[in-house]
Amino acid sequence: MIRLFLFAALFLLHTALSVAQKNLKIMIIFAHPDEGEKYTGGIAALYTKMGHQVKFMSLTNGDAGHYAMNRVELTKMRYQEAMESKRILALDAYEVLDYHDKYLKNTKEAQEKVIKSIQDWQADVVFTYYLRKEGI
């Protein structure tokens, strides 16, 4: 039943996007590098395959959560992984903001960065995820 629903949803999405008069600019915003790939990589690949432009935006730099690597090394590694994902998924852009993991707050400054990025990209569609109130 779930497979049938997913197939129908993807078919309708494909049909709706196929009849669109212009290519869409799609932006997918998430908390940490690798979440875009994990949760929306498939849909991003479908959009790029249909000729639409897709941008990923990570709100944090991915500098926490490794048992052995320090923050600087981990940030570099996660950025390289993000750029490899950009290549594999044929994304048009992948932006990583420089907020530290677990320290992103819902501030006016952070909001303005995200708004500016959406406006600069001229996104037609924006996907994002629910975020907790405390830091990410």
> What's the pLDDT tens digit per position in 95-109?
999 999 888 899 999
Q: What is the pLDDT of residue 16?
A: 60
Q: State yes or no: pLDDT of 15 exceeds 90.
A: no
Q: Does the pLDDT at position 1 exceed 60? A: no
Query: What is the structure's pLDDT at 21?
Result: 59
Query: Which structure tokens are listed for 79?
Result: 């950025």
The pLDDT score that the predictor gives to residue 8 is 55
pTM: 0.80
Q: What is the mean pLDDT of residues 109-118?
A: 96
> How far is 64 from 74, CA to CA, in rounded Å?
7
Higher pLDDT, 19 or 52: 52
DSSP β-bridge partners for residue 55: 27, 93
| pLDDT at 58 (0 to 100) | 96
Confidence check: pLDDT of 25 > 80: yes
Rounded Cα distance, 133 and 106, in Å: 8
Distinct helix (H) and strand (E) counts, the chain: 4, 4
Q: Is the pLDDT score of 7 beyond 80?
A: no
Query: Stretch 110-136: mean pLDDT, rounded?
Result: 86
Looking at the chain, the whole-number percentage of residues with pLDDT higher than 90 is 65
